[in-house]
Every structure is written in structure tokens, then in C-alpha cells.
Structure 1
Amino acid sequence: MKNNQLLQLLIDDELNNQSLFCYKLSSELLSQKISLFTVVFERIKLLLEDLEIKNINTYVKTFWYFWFPLALDLAQKKEAKSNSLIVGILGGQGTGKTTLTKILAHIWQCLGLNSIELSLDDLYKTYQERQDLLKVDSRLIWRGPPGTHDVSLGLDILDRFQKQTYPILIPRFDKSLYNGMGDRVAFEKVGQGDIIILEGWFVGMQPVSETAFINPPYPIISEEDKQFAFDNNKRLKKYLSLWEKLDYFMILKPKDYRYSLKWRKEAEHKMIKQGKTGMSDMEIEQFVHYFWKALHPEIYLPPLLNNSQYTDLIININTHHSIESVKHFH
């Protein structure tokens, strides 16, 4: 189907239907989508091919109703600011965080806006720093929980973007080093950043009341588990200054948080079939449960999902990794 025919179908569909996963409907956004469709959609098709997404047609409505208007709306928010717009994305493995980040970046490029991605992973302390941390707290066996990141470095980077102090050095992290323990490998020098994306599995999470750990959800069972959860809650306070830098905050929320365990198993099984090294099912469960014990979704997500003053957008993800519905507050 030619682009002009596809565009007309999408226009007719929008005028006659309201998709559950539509970001926003407005005559202004529709006009922008129509004028920019051809150039932007061609770029996105090439990107989806690079991401090895074969059935591109299944993503056409997701592009039209969600990716495209979200990118345009955030671009408008950026135009209203004199410095960088900082967007926070909370999402675990399998929620489409990487795909969304790449697609937004490509659309913004078509609009003449430069975006920079900063992952919580990039802010990990160095291998040696984490080895020293392990001597202080032997429970921090995996990188990832609060306390394993260089929050001051993250703050300095976001401050520099806000003050437009270019160039800026962005740390990059290689997870494969030291038998999977990972280490910081280099700093990437970047110039102007119109829109900065800060993404990670607990971006934006807030400390909760101590009462949350009286009868916590599985797998926080033993007194040691409860103490670990309690200590991570305290460590989370150090990240609040980082979250305060966010101008816009969205959550990629699986319909059931336990999907993350299923998705991790599927990913590991796929790697093993390809002849790569992968974890056994028991190792995967231990790994995923470790992070649930650190910051359990049932404890930390509800306060964010019900806080319209803090959260701007909630994207509900089904078991097939697809967007099921969207809720926006602003």
C-alpha cells in the first residue's frame, strides 16, 4: 500500500474511532501528523527493519496513535523551554523501553531536534567501586539496586544539560566485562541535547512508608528479605534529587508485573537456542526475585500510578509486549 493511501486510511480511522492506546486526539496533532507523515513514517519503517521487527504493518496503528503524537507533544513541550527537556521513563525488561526510546529519537530527528539517552545502567559505579561496596554490604551481589549507581555523576550531567554547558561527557557501561559484572568503559562526548531521556527499571520510584514492609508481597519472606527491602527503601532517598530534574515522567507498566519473569525466561531460552550463554530457569528466578526483593513492583508502582501530580503518562503493556491502553494526566 502506498503511503498516501495508508495515510488516508489512518485519518479515516481516527475520525471514526478512538483507539484504546491513543496518546492524545486533537485537531492540531492530527494536522501535524498529516503534514509530517511521509518523511517520518519512512524513517520509522527503516528503524523497525533494523530492529528486526518483521511484520511492520502490525505497528502502523501504534505509530499513528501513540509513538507519533507522543513525540510531537514532547517536541512542543521542548519548544516551550529555553533549555533541555528531561524525560523520565520507568520500565523493566520486555516493556519496549528500548524500542520506544529509539523511535522517539528518530521522530525528533525529523523535527530537527537532537535527543540524548542516559540509562541508569550508564550511571553504575565502576567495577572496583562495586567490589568495595560489596565489602560493606555483601547483599549487593548484583548491580542494579539503589546504591550501585553514581547519583552525583547523574546529577552533574543533567545540570550541565540544563545550563547548556557543552560538550558533556556521558558515561557508557559494558555489561559483558568481568564475567557479566560489567564496568564503565568510556565517556561519550555529546553536544547539544534538546531532549534528554533518563530511563531505567526504577526511574522515578519514591521511598514508601515503613509499614509497607510489615506484610510485604512474595518473595519478601524472611526477616533478612524484609531488612534488604527496608534498606533499599532508605537508599532510594539519594535518588530523589535526580528525579526532581524530570520535566515529564512516563511509566511502561506490564498488565501483571510477573510478566517480567516470563519475558526474561523467553529471552534467555532464545539466547541458548542461538548457541549463546544463558541462565537456567532456576537462575533466572533467583535473579528476578532479587530485584523484586529490592524494590517490589506491588509496593512502589501503585503510589506512582495514582499520583497525577507526579506521573504524566502510563502505558499498559500486555503479555505480547504490545500496548494495550494508555492513560495520560497532562
Structure 2
Amino acid sequence: MSYLSALLHRAVLQLRQQGAVDRSLCEALLAGERQTPERSQALDLAPSETVEGIQERLGQLAEILDNVVERLPFQGQELILENLWRLWLPLAGQLAQLRRESARPIVQGILGGQGTGKTTLASALSVILEYFGYRSLGLSLDDLYKPYAERQRLKAEDPRLIRRGPPGTHDVELGLQVLQQLRQGASPVAVPRFDKSAFGGDGDRTSPEQVEGADIILFEGWFVGVEPVEPSCFEQAPEPIRTAQDKAFARDCNQRLQEYLPLWDCCDRLMVLAPVDYRLSQRWRLQAEHDAIAQGKAGLSDEEIREFVEYFWKALHPELFITPLIAPEAKSALVVTLEADHSIGSIR
């Protein structure tokens, strides 16, 4: 157990057993907070960086902990405690404050590749926002895929679109219509949903969800917020963009990104879940597949996983499209770095 987890565990026990936390423990947590000024600035924590502010946040953590653990049964409690303290709880508080100050629902964009924990983050935030009195709605870029029949026609026209996922496989107009309705506070809104298991894994639209009264929309996807780059970037493109055909595919995907910019404009904020090395996504996907196979489920071979992940890198390579968003000089997004063990690194 890490030092931070140990402190948080002790604090929760004290709250549940005696209704208060020792001042010395709060001071230890406060000292840790002050060692990460970038995080404090990014999450608007500076006003609460007092012993009293720490006590209040610990009380909130203790009250919601069991509900979050129940929602995320496959996450260890130590990791949940740290994530709650370092990111989930303050981010939810920040979103709740923004909603209080806004005359309409707000949209938080979440960008992250495979294995970065977008779904876990959205699930945790929904529990905490409900505790704060706000209803959240999760909307994935995946929910905006074109129907199966339309994607089959698309594949026949462009055989390079062998999988759903790259720019061009989504119904951007539908997404724009839905996000605009949600931002305007319309109720109910028919929110599209996608069944990935349909047609042998090719997936298809399923019945839309009728949503009423959404306050905060968590719009996530593997290239949410990504913008086109200069075509000259593909002349010396990184691996696995190797051949002339690869470069042509990358340029076409880059051009199709233009269609998605109105969707990104619907986001009030953007956050990026960024591995310290983008290649970790492939390792994480391999591990997830190995775990599934060990549980008796169907899974892909290591070579199939490698080809699967590289297909997406060929479409929108992280070095070309994500790096500009997480560069130190970029101020347009909240950046959360992820270590190789999936723990949270820096927040800025």
C-alpha cells in the first residue's frame, strides 16, 4: 500500500469510527497536496488547500467510497482511493461548480486511447456527480457509428475501412444534433447507442436511450478533440506508417477530421488521458485479451491485437495528433498522464 493510500485508508477508518480525522493526518495530506501545484491549479484546488478543506474533502470521499467501489468491482480499493483523491473527486467538484455557474448543461470531452480508462472515469464521475446533485450522461464516440449496412457500403467503396473506428465511420450529423439538443436542455433527447456484439462483432445501432434532465455530458472517444495536422507531417511519419498506401490512408483520415470539428466545438472542456508512452495501449490491450482468454472467453491472438492497434495508429497516429494537445505549451486541455501500471502520474 502506498503512503497516500495508507493515509486515506486511516482517514476513512477514523471518520467511520469516531466521526472526525486527526489534525496531524489532515496536515500530512495537505503537505502532499502542496507538492503538486500544477494539479492544484488544473483542478481549482488552491482555495480548499487548508486543513478544513482537506477535512471536508475527506468527508465527501468517505461518503461516496462504497458506491464507487460497487460501481467499479474490478478496481482494487487502494487504486480507487488514490484515484478518488487525486482526480475523480476534485474533477467532479469542478464540473459541478461549472454547471452551477452555467445557464445550460455542459459537455466534458474526454480523449483517450485503448486501455486508458475512459469508461472507468465516466462511471466514477457519474457516481460522484449524483452525490453532488447532478445527473451525468455518458456518450461515446462509438455510439455515433454509422449503421452496419451503411458501413458495409462504405467498406465496399473504400476497402481500407476494414474496421469501424477511423474518421468517416461515424454519423457526425447525428452526433451534432444530439449534443446540441443536450446543450440546449431539451428533454427528452433520443441518445444513440451502439451494440458492438451485433453481426459477429461488426456492431450495429441499437434502440436509442431516452434521456431527460442531463446536467453534465461526458463525451469520450479515442480521438475526441483531435484536430487535423499539416499534410507534410506524413512525409516522415512514425511507425507503423511505412508505405505509400499507409501515408495515403493517414492523409485521408486527417482530411476527414475536418468533418468532426463541429462536434469538438460542442465540448466546453477537453481532458486527455495520456500514457507516458503511447505504445502502452498495445500492451494494455494484450493484457486485457490474455485476461479474457484466461477466464474462458473468446479472444484475439497477440498478432491480431498488434494488427488491430496498429490499424488505428495508421489512421491517427498518437505522435502526430495527441502530442500537440499534451505539449507543455498547450493550454487547451486538462492532461492526465498514466504510468505503465495504470496509476495516475501528473495532472496539469
Pairing partner for 2:46 from 26, 30, 55: 26
Distance 2:79 2:169 in 1: 39
Is residue 2:239 matched to residue 1:224?
A: no
| Aligned 8 A contact 2:326 2:333 in 1 | no
CA deviation profile, 1:123-166 (whole Å, cap 9, x unmatched):
01110110111111111010000000011011001111122221
Structure 1 pair 206–246 and aligned structure 2 pair: CA distance change class (3 A): same
Any gaps of 5 or more consecutive residues in structure 2? 1-12
Q: Percent identity?
A: 43
Structure 1 pair 187–7 and aligned structure 2 pair: CA distance change class (3 A): farther
Matched with 1:194 is 215
Amino acid across the alignment from 2:28: D
Tell me the SS of whatever aligns to 2:322. helix
Alpha-carbon distance, 1:70 to partner: 1.3
Matched with 2:130 is 109
Distance 2:108 2:70 in 1: 26
* Correspondence list, 1:161-172, <5 A: 161-172=182-193
Matched with 2:7 is none
Tell me the SS of whatever aligns to 2:87. helix
Is residue 2:21 matched to residue 1:14?
A: no
Q: Which gives a bigger RCO, structure 1 or 2 (Cα 8 Å, sep 6+)? A: 1
Alpha-carbon distance, 1:74 to partner: 1.5
Distance 1:244 1:29 in 2: 33
Distance 1:54 1:103 in 2: 11
User: How many aligned residue pairs are there?
Assistant: 327
Structure 1 pair 310–187 and aligned structure 2 pair: CA distance change class (3 A): farther
* Correspondence list, 1:79-90, <5 A: 79-90=100-111
CA deviation profile, 1:90-119 (whole Å, cap 9, x unmatched):
011221211111111111111111111110
Which shows bigger deviation, 26-35 or 106-115?
A: 26-35
Alpha-carbon distance, 1:53 to partner: 3.9
Alpha-carbon distance, 1:42 to partner: 3.4
Tell me the SS of whatever aligns to 2:218. strand
* Correspondence list, 1:75-224, <5 A: 75-224=96-245
Tell me the SS of whatever aligns to 2:217. strand
Distance 2:187 2:71 in 1: 31
Distance 1:169 1:7 in 2: 49
| Aligned 8 A contact 2:136 2:218 in 1 | yes
CA deviation profile, 1:49-79 (whole Å, cap 9, x unmatched):
4422464134323312321111111211111
Which shows bigger deviation, 22-31 or 190-199?
A: 22-31
Amino acid across the alignment from 2:29: E
Amino acid across the alignment from 2:198: L
Tell me the SS of whatever aligns to 1:188. strand
Amino acid across the alignment from 1:2: Q
Distance 1:116 1:10 in 2: 36
Matched with 1:2 is 14
Any gaps of 5 or more consecutive residues in structure 1? none
Distance 2:329 2:105 in 1: 23
Structure 1 pair 271–58 and aligned structure 2 pair: CA distance change class (3 A): closer
Structure 1 pair 50–75 and aligned structure 2 pair: CA distance change class (3 A): closer
CA deviation profile, 1:211-231 (whole Å, cap 9, x unmatched):
100010000000000000000
| Aligned 8 A contact 2:79 2:343 in 1 | no
Aligned Cα RMSD in Å? 2.1
Tell me the SS of whatever aligns to 1:278. coil
Distance 2:214 2:193 in 1: 17
Matched with 1:238 is 259
Normalized against structure 1, the TM-score is what?
A: 0.93
Which shows bigger deviation, 42-51 or 83-92?
A: 42-51
Amino acid across the alignment from 1:152: E
Distance 1:248 1:237 in 2: 19
Normalized against structure 2, the TM-score is what?
A: 0.88
Which shows bigger deviation, 132-141 or 18-27?
A: 18-27
